[in-house]
Amino acid sequence: MSWFESFVLGLVQGLTEFLPISSSAHLRLTAAFAGWHDPGAAFTAISQIGTEAAVLIYFRKDIARILSAWFRSLTNKEMRSDHDAQMGWLVIVGSIPIGVLGVTLKDQIEGPFRDLRLIATTLIVMGIVLGIADRLAARDEAGGKHRAVKERKTLKDLGVRDGLIYGFCQAMALVPGVSRSGATISGGLLMGYTRESAARYSFLLAIPAVLASGVYELKDVGEGHVSWGPTIFATLVAFFVGYAVIAWFMKFITTKSFMPFVIYRVALGILIFILVSTGVLSPHAGESAG
């Protein structure tokens, strides 16, 4: 991997990690369109450490408060009813599905799941799911002539059941094209949470999973065409770009719809199917070389 490739892929990672359009799919597609080797699951997981570092800094006050309350709740029974302490446990509970499935499906994640036809399918299907969830949220918020405005849930309403559902939604993102934020935000909206609450928990829930995955994949750096230098460089690029994107996205979702992302996902999925079916692009482009 050249330094230019690592810069472009780091930029793509930072731009797409927090948007509901799948960063892993875009890393895979960028390499395929450019004629580069598939960067692989290890590069993807490690570069995501950069964007998760951006989450740690952006949500540093929330994270510090949650960690403080959670640790105190271990010895202080009265603290166990505190919302921040409960959030600590809910992040742990929600991280279980992706932890178990990530290890179980490791071979599929690094192989069959990277087929461009599967990526196109998940882009379209999950795009439609996000669109439906967004429309339901908008209907609740706007009400209607014969329908009152429906109050949606916040993170104070989050319990173990919903935390696990969020967790299984996040685990779906092991398939490139699903999108970690897209799946968890869609799940949250369908369960009746506000856009801001769904996004906030989605980003907090991703921290343990992404950091653990990145650390686990460190052993594979240096194998094949991916080396340490470009990987670290891409991770740094992803961090700076990702921080700017997350700040913008959290403001965007308070007033805007997810429909632009839905249209983009569906259009991109259709484009991939057309390119693959006409032979312009191989469904396994770059895999043999990577």
User: pLDDT tens, 136-148?
Assistant: 998 888 776 667 7
Whole-number pLDDT of residue 225: 58
Contact 160, 6 (CB under 8 A): no
CA 179 – CA 183 distance, rounded (Å): 6
Q: Residue 235 CB: number of other CB atoms within 10 A?
A: 23
Tell me the domain boundaries of the chain.
3-278
Whole-number pLDDT of residue 146: 64
Task: Report percent pLDDT > 70 for the chain.
Answer: 94
User: pLDDT tens, 16-44?
Assistant: 999 999 988 898 899 888 888 877 777 88
CA 139 – CA 188 distance, rounded (Å): 15
Whole-number pLDDT of residue 289: 39
CA 279 – CA 60 distance, rounded (Å): 47
User: pLDDT tens, 95-109?
Assistant: 999 989 988 888 887
CA 30 – CA 8 distance, rounded (Å): 9
Q: Mark 86-113 as b/e (b = at least 16 C-beta within 10 Å).
A: bbbebbebbbbbbbebbeeeeeebbeeb
Judged against a pLDDT cut of 80, whether residue 6 lies above it is answered with yes
User: pLDDT tens, 234-285?
Assistant: 999 999 999 999 999 999 988 788 999 999 999 999 999 999 999 888 887 7
Look at the block and give the residue holding tokens 């640790």.
71
Contact 20, 245 (CB under 8 A): no
Longest pairwise C-alpha distance within the chain: 64
User: pLDDT tens, 219-239?
Assistant: 766 565 567 888 899 999 999
Contact 2, 230 (CB under 8 A): yes
Contact 51, 203 (CB under 8 A): no
User: pLDDT tens, 62-83?
Assistant: 999 999 999 999 999 889 889 9
Whole-number pLDDT of residue 288: 41
User: pLDDT tens, 150-208?
Assistant: 889 999 999 999 999 999 999 998 898 999 999 999 999 999 999 999 999 999 999 99
Specify the pTM. 0.86
Tell me what the pLDDT averaged over the chain comes to. Answer: 88
Q: How many angstroms separate the first and last alpha carbons of the chain?
A: 10
- State the pLDDT confidence band at 290, using cuts at 50, 70 and 90: very low
Judged against a pLDDT cut of 90, whether residue 61 lies above it is answered with yes
CA 63 – CA 58 distance, rounded (Å): 9
CA 54 – CA 14 distance, rounded (Å): 9
- State the pLDDT confidence band at 287, using cuts at 50, 70 and 90: low
Residues 6+ apart with CB under 8 A from 44: 13, 23, 24, 27
